[in-house]
């Protein structure tokens, strides 16, 4: 059965193999590049691309998972709200993120009212269905998803019992932090195509100027990722740091201006801790004062000290998520990985989200070298239409 | 509300996901202290059913399954059809394709609509006729409002077979066949449950497949499992572990409906990790693979059957997915998959 997916040019197997060969030929010395997007890691893992990356090319997953970098106190705020009897609506990934004491899933086992939603709009619908209850949308994601949150906040018909607890993050500042880390081996960045759809690729020009590191904007299909890496490795080899957009079917230099206007009309940046990474100046998105009436932090008293009677998880001290998200270490360097820290009982945030490096390595097998498995003999495929 | 869940051992939703968590709960709690049947296989095997040898030529196969599902009526089926199909299929997976009879125990919440109960009953009758079996005994309990979510249906089944097929019989070189498109049930339920607005083209595949299995079964079919909860990923991992082989799956050959693939791409859930309720995975000796495939495809429920993989002697206990672009492990999901953020 041939499927629509295989008919897409970006999933053409021959094209992908050809690009993989070009990448192999170009990578003539050990190199490290970083992508800063969970969706890139997801696609790399999902399509098994690490098995065809050149041995000398280290493609590091940076702090690109918004769920993973959600900090303990942000989860705690949601847990405290939930324990006050407020309905919390959030994306599925957020439910298992460990807080200081509990995740939202734990709170749910204790009777808290937690709802999985797929969009901010669904959270608003939930509030409409329960006019006598308070519904808080625990919002996470980068500027891409923040635009969707902004779109419901500016809706004049928003029900009174709906508010937003923003854990949204802004990606450009964290790239600066990673580029300036003294131990960094990163020689170039693969930027996220979907975020750039909003911000435009022009936003990276100043970064390139400051750090003399190339940035390539890439999409998420197998051919997109390999084409992006071919371009990036070429720029690294040629020592020609500049921004190249390999995702022109979606990304322009200016980006989506109406979406940017909506984003900045609702949100402002403030500095804040990204879990395991560092304090990121301007890294967090919070609601502007004119939207205080929709801001859960303004509407409810949130006293985090109510959680302090309970002991925090004991293993957290050994967790190296921060080093992993900074590209300094890989999951294999962590003694908890695959032992004490598994998707069932995650210790660190990277094991929680489906976009987290550790979770993805665990889920799709970052460990065994699968490049050596012999291809199936043609006979084994006989008779398949 | 007190905080206890992080401090003491508790059952959580993941223990019902059909994966590792559930098997460890069965192993750690339920299977302890029960002796294996003298002639046959019991709880410890954690197969689709138990077998007890009756005489030199015949085995009794017993299986039981409780069914809870929200919504009770979903595109392509309902809890009634599911509860009959689930048990008939578990028997078939042991090689017992003629279910002699089923039992049916229902636990109902106070206030449940009798009209709805009648619709569920009608569906069970129709599915029994389709499967060539009947319900021979049952039990009814009612619980207070809020003490149970609507209705729980348990069915058990018995059958006699001359040849038992287990889920641990794979050998290096054997071919893996799937009897049709995968992910249909899980994606239809997920779309309905999370109001994703994608349900138009998604229909559960819930069906009794005992006649399909009977049409294809021969002595070269050495292992079978139905990829229900946890999906193909969970079923193949279990088969690989129990059989002590590695399995390579050729993803481009895995039959997936376009609508299911589209929904899975949108919500970020792998169709290989969601439930099927009318499909089976067969491990077949290579020289019979074509014959089995032809027999399956001749049956209305097996038209999309395909060879999707093969067993190897390396990477024992693991399932490797060849995506066509590269390779990765196909691992079991932990707990119920949740739609992801972007």
Name the residue facing A344 among B267, B322, B334 (closest C-beta): B334
In order along its 342 residues, chain B shows pLDDT tens digits of 444 444 457 787 777 766 777 888 888 888 888 888 888 888 888 888 899 999 999 999 999 999 999 899 999 999 999 999 999 999 999 999 999 999 999 999 999 999 999 999 999 999 999 999 999 999 999 999 999 999 999 999 999 999 999 999 999 999 999 999 999 999 999 888 877 776 568 999 999 999 999 999 999 999 999 999 889 999 999 999 999 999 999 999 999 999 999 888 887 788 999 999 999 999 999 999 999 999 999 999 999 999 999 999 988 999 999 998 888 888 887 666 655 543
Across the range A347-360, mean pLDDT stands at: 76
Q: Are residues A298 and A159 in the same domain?
A: yes
CA distance B50 to A9: 49
B67 half-sphere exposure, CB direction, 13 A CA radius = 26
Report the SS3 class of residue A288.
coil
- Extract the tokens encoding A347: 């210790």
Chain A residue nearest residue B3, CA to CA: A110
Nearest alpha carbon to residue A37 among A148, A175, A149: A175
For residue A129, give every residue at least 6 positions away whose Cβ sits within 8 Å of its Cβ, in sequence order, or none. Answer: none
A137 half-sphere exposure, CB direction, 13 A CA radius = 33
Give a yes or no: residue B109 inside a domain: yes
pTM for this entry = 0.81
Q: Are residues B191 and B324 in the same domain?
A: yes
Residue A116: is its pLDDT beyond 50? Answer: yes
Between the CA of residue A227 and those of A17, A186, B115, what are the distances in Å? 11, 19, 59
For B9-31, write each residue's pLDDT tens digit: 778 777 776 677 788 888 888 88
For B88, the domain range is 51-161
pLDDT classification of A254: cutoffs 50, 70, 90: very high
* Opening angle at CA A36, ends A32 and A39, nearest 5: 115
Give a yes or no: residue A368 inside a domain: no
A210 to chain B nearest CA, in Å?
30
pLDDT classification of A265: cutoffs 50, 70, 90: very high
Name the residue facing A376 among B3, B6, B248 (closest C-beta): B248
A32: β partners: A58
A155 to chain B nearest CA, in Å?
21
Q: Are residues A336 and A205 in the same domain?
A: no
Give a yes or no: residue A77 inside a domain: yes
Q: Are residues A84 and A59 in the same domain?
A: no
Give a yes or no: residue A8 inside a domain: no
Between A165 and A172, residue with greater pLDDT: A165
Last residue of a domain, one of B132, B161, B190: B161
Q: Are residues A115 and A198 in the same domain?
A: no
Chain A residue nearest residue B260, CA to CA: A3
Domain count, chain A: 3
Q: Are residues B88 and B186 in the same domain?
A: no
Last residue of a domain, one of B161, B189, B218: B161
Beta carbons of B324 and A13 less than 8 Å apart = yes
Q: Are residues A96 and A164 in the same domain?
A: yes
Q: Are residues B213 and B321 in the same domain?
A: yes
Name the residue facing A110 among B5, B265, B314 (closest C-beta): B5
Residue A22: is its pLDDT beyond 90? Answer: yes
* Opening angle at CA A55, ends A353 and A185, nearest 5: 70
CATH number for position B275: 3.90.650.10
Give a yes or no: residue A272 inside a domain: no
Residue A373: is its pLDDT beyond 60? Answer: no
Last residue of a domain, one of B161, B184, B209: B161
Residue A249: is its pLDDT beyond 50? Answer: yes
CA distance A145 to A171: 12
- Extract the tokens encoding A220: 């998420």
* Opening angle at CA A352, ends B191 and B13, nearest 5: 55
For A33-76, write each residue's pLDDT tens digit: 999 888 898 888 889 898 889 989 988 888 888 888 888 889 99
Give a yes or no: residue B25 inside a domain: no
Q: Are residues A114 and A86 in the same domain?
A: yes
Give a yes or no: residue B37 inside a domain: no
Give a yes or no: residue B39 inside a domain: no
Helix A120-129, helix A143-153: angle, nearest 10? 30
B156: β partners: B64, B103
What per-residue confidence (pLDDT) applies to A314?
55
Q: From the candidates B258, B287, B335, B342, which should be mutated to test the interface with A, based on the most A CB atoms within 10 A?
A: B342
Between A187 and B23, residue with greater pLDDT: A187
Helix or strand holding residue A359 (H, E): helix A357-364
What per-residue confidence (pLDDT) applies to A71?
86
Give a yes or no: residue A228 inside a domain: yes
Name the residue facing B342 among A106, A145, A373 (closest C-beta): A145
For A237, the domain range is 16-66+172-245
pLDDT classification of A370: cutoffs 50, 70, 90: low
CA distance B264 to B189: 12
Report the SS3 class of residue A106.
helix
B66: β partners: B154
Going by the DSSP 8-state scheme, the letter that residue A155 receives in this structure is -
Report the SS3 class of residue B22.
helix
B121 to chain A nearest CA, in Å?
32
Q: Are residues A182 and A59 in the same domain?
A: yes
Beta carbons of A101 and B6 less than 8 Å apart = yes
Give a yes or no: residue B201 inside a domain: yes
Q: Parallel, antiparallel, or unpaired for β A162-168 and A135-141?
A: parallel
What per-residue confidence (pLDDT) applies to B216?
96
Going by the DSSP 8-state scheme, the letter that residue B16 receives in this structure is G
CATH number for position A184: 3.40.50.11750
* Residues in chain A within 8 Å Cβ distance of B294: 383
Helix or strand holding residue B320 (H, E): strand B319-322
For B110-146, write each residue's pLDDT tens digit: 999 999 999 999 999 999 999 999 999 999 999 999 9
Q: Are residues B285 and B255 in the same domain?
A: yes
Q: Are residues A193 and A55 in the same domain?
A: yes
What per-residue confidence (pLDDT) applies to A313?
53
What per-residue confidence (pLDDT) applies to B5?
41
What per-residue confidence (pLDDT) applies to B6?
44
Q: From the candidates A370, A371, A379, which should be mutated to test the interface with B, based on the most B CB atoms within 10 A?
A: A370
Q: Are residues B266 and B318 in the same domain?
A: yes
- Extract the tokens encoding B37: 């049947």
What per-residue confidence (pLDDT) applies to A346?
77
């Amino acid at each position: 059965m041939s499927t629509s997916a295989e008919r897409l040019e970006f999933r053409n197997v021959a094209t992908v193999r050809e690009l993989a060969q070009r990448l192999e030929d170009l990578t003539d010395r050990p190199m490290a590049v970083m992508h800063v997007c969970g969706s890139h890691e997801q696609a790399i893992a999902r399509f098994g691309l690490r098995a065809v990356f050149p041995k000398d090319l280290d493609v590091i997953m940076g702090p690109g998972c918004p769920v993973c970098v959600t900090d303990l106190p942000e989860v705690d705020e949601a847990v405290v709200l939930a324990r006050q009897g407020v309905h919390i609506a959030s994306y599925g990934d957020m439910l298992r993120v460990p807080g200081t004491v509990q995740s939202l899933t734990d709170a749910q086992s204790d009777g808290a009212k937690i709802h999985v939603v797929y969009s901010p709009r669904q959270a608003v619908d939930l509030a409409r269905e329960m006019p006598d209850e308070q519904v808080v949308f625990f919002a996470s994601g980068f500027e891409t998803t923040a635009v969707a949150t902004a779109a419901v906040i500016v809706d004049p018909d928003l029900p009174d019992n709906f508010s937003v607890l923003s854990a949204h993050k802004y990606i450009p500042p964290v790239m600066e932090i990673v580029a300036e880390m003294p131990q960094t081996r990163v020689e170039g960045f693969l930027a996220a195509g979907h975020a750039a759809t909003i911000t435009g690729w022009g936003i990276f020009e100043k970064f390139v100027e400051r750090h003399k590191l190339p940035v390539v904007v890439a999409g998420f299909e197998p051919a997109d990722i390999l084409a992006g890496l071919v371009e990036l490795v070429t720029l690294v080899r040629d020592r020609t740091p500049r921004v190249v957009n390999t995702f022109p079917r979606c990304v322009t230099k200016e980006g989506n201006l109406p979406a940017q206007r909506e984003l900045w009309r609702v949100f402002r940046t403030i500095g804040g801790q990204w879990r395991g990474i560092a304090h990121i100046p301007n890294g967090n998105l919070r609601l502007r004062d004119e939207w205080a009436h929709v801001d859960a932090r303004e509407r409810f008293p949130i006293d985090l000290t109510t959680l302090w009677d309970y002991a925090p998880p004991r293993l957290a001290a050994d967790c190296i998520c921060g080093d992993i998200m900074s590209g300094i270490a890989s999951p294999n360097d962590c003694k908890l990985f695959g032992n004490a820290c598994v998707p069932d009982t995650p210790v660190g945030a990277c094991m929680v989200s489906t976009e987290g490096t550790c979770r993805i390595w665990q889920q799709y097998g970052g460990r065994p070298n699968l490049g050596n498995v012999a291809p199936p003999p043609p006979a084994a495929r006989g008779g398949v239409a | 509300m007190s905080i206890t869940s992080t401090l003491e051992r508790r059952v959580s939703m993941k223990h019902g996901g059909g994966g590792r968590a559930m098997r460890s709960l069965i192993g750690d709690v339920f299977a302890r202290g029960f002796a294996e049947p003298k002639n046959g296989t019991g709880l410890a095997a954690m197969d689709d059913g138990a077998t007890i040898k009756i005489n030199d030529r015949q085995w009794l196969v017993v299986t039981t399954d409780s069914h809870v599902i929200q919504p009770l009526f979903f595109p392509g089926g309902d809890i009634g059809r599911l509860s009959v199909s689930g048990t008939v299929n578990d028997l078939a997976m042991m090689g017992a394709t003629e279910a002699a009879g089923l039992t049916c125990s229902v636990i109902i919440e106070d206030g449940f609509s009798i009209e709805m109960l009648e619709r569920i009953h009608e569906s069970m009758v129709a599915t029994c006729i389709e499967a060539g079996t009947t319900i021979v005994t049952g039990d009814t309990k009612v619980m207070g409002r809020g003490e149970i979510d609507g209705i729980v249906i348990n069915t058990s089944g018995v059958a006699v077979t001359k040849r038992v097929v287990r889920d641990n019989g794979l050998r290096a070189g054997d071919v893996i066949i799937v009897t049709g498109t995968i992910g249909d049930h899980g994606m239809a339920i997920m779309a309905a449950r999370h109001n994703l607005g994608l349900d138009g083209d998604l229909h559960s595949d819930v069906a009794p497949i005992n006649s399909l299995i009977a049409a294809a079964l021969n002595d070269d079919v050495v292992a079978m499992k139905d990829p229900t909860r946890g999906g193909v990923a969970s079923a193949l991992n279990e088969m690989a572990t129990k059989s002590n082989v590695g399995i390579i799956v050729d993803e481009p050959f895995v039959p997936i409906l376009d609508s299911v693939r589209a929904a899975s791409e949108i919500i970020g859930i792998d169709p290989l990790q969601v439930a099927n309720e009318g499909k089976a995975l067969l491990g077949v000796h290579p020289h019979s693979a074509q014959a089995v495939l032809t027999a399956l495809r001749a049956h209305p429920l097996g038209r999309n059957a395909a060879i999707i993989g093969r067993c190897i002697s390396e990477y024992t206990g693991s399932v490797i997915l060849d995506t066509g672009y590269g390779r990765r492990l196909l691992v079991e999901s932990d707990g119920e998959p949740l739609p992801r953020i972007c």
